[in-house]
Amino acid sequence: MRPIGIFGGTFDPVHLGHLRSALEIYEALGFERIHFVPCARPAHRAAPRVSGEQRLALLELAVTGQPAFVCDDRELRRAAGPSYMYDTLLSFRSQYADRSLCLLLGLDAFLHFSQWHRWAEICDLAHLVIARRPGADLPERSHEYALYQARGAESVSALHQRAAGSVVITTVTQLEISATDIRARVAAGRSIRYLVPDAVADYIETQQLYLSHSAVDLSD
């Protein structure tokens, strides 16, 4: 059976950089589908600017018409506390015991992977698929470099033959788009058209999201 991709992020908001790189990975690596998993309470960064429900609604608009992209609200449904990817992967593993699961990460996110909660165990629950832009490289003498040396797979067939445990670095067209930049543009009254799907831009405008700089309250 083909691998299932798991793409976690704040998605505050989702943008064409996320969607384009997910699509290229889906096609190049022969995945069955990709679950987009918005994070409820990020463990290692500031709270999102809009609620989980709003970020999920934006994601649902973004993936309309692409059946291989699934919006997955399991982190938003989980009880209070930080959203650890380790717990998310345990949840996927309980659902798909023997299936190949591939956690998608941009190279920028992977550079901090050794600070993640139970990061070494994550590698036993899923493969890691690292998306990098052409020419970008992993710095030597880091935990992440050592992990790649130990578990790096030459070929994508490793992702189809085993359920977890390999690290694959794949080159994608990485568009220079960030959610930070999109939020700043909205707050400055500038257009975000062509950086996000039109339906996402329309929803942000009609719901008046990202107009102020304050984060959403995650206390409950």
Q: Which of 3, 4, 5, 17 binds ligand ATP (CB under 6 A)?
A: 17
Does residue number 18 form part of the binding site for ligand ATP (CB under 6 A)? yes
* Least separation in angstroms between CB 98 and ligand ATP: 26
Residues 137-176 that bind ligand ATP (CB under 6 A): 174-175
The answer to whether residues 19 and 194 touch, using CB atoms and an 8 Å cutoff, is: no
Query: Which of 56, 118, 46, 114 is closest to 87 using CA atoms?
Result: 118
Taking CB under 6 A as the binding criterion, the range among 7-15, 63-71, 86-94, 117-125 that sits at the site for ligand ATP is 7-15
Does residue number 63 form part of the binding site for ligand ATP (CB under 6 A)? no
Does residue number 5 form part of the binding site for ligand ATP (CB under 6 A)? no
Q: Which residue is nearest to ligand ATP (CB)?
A: 106
Does residue number 54 form part of the binding site for ligand ATP (CB under 6 A)? no
Q: What end-to-end distance do the CA atoms of the chain give, in Å?
A: 40
Q: Could you give the CA distance from residue 107 to residue 91 in angstroms, rounded to a whole number? A: 24
Does residue number 178 form part of the binding site for ligand ATP (CB under 6 A)? yes
* Least separation in angstroms between CB 163 and ligand ATP: 22
Q: Could you give the CA distance from residue 56 to residue 143 in angstroms, rounded to a whole number? A: 33
Does residue number 108 form part of the binding site for ligand ATP (CB under 6 A)? yes
Amino acid identity, position 132? R
The answer to whether residues 13 and 179 touch, using CB atoms and an 8 Å cutoff, is: yes
β pairing state of 4-9 and 33-38: parallel
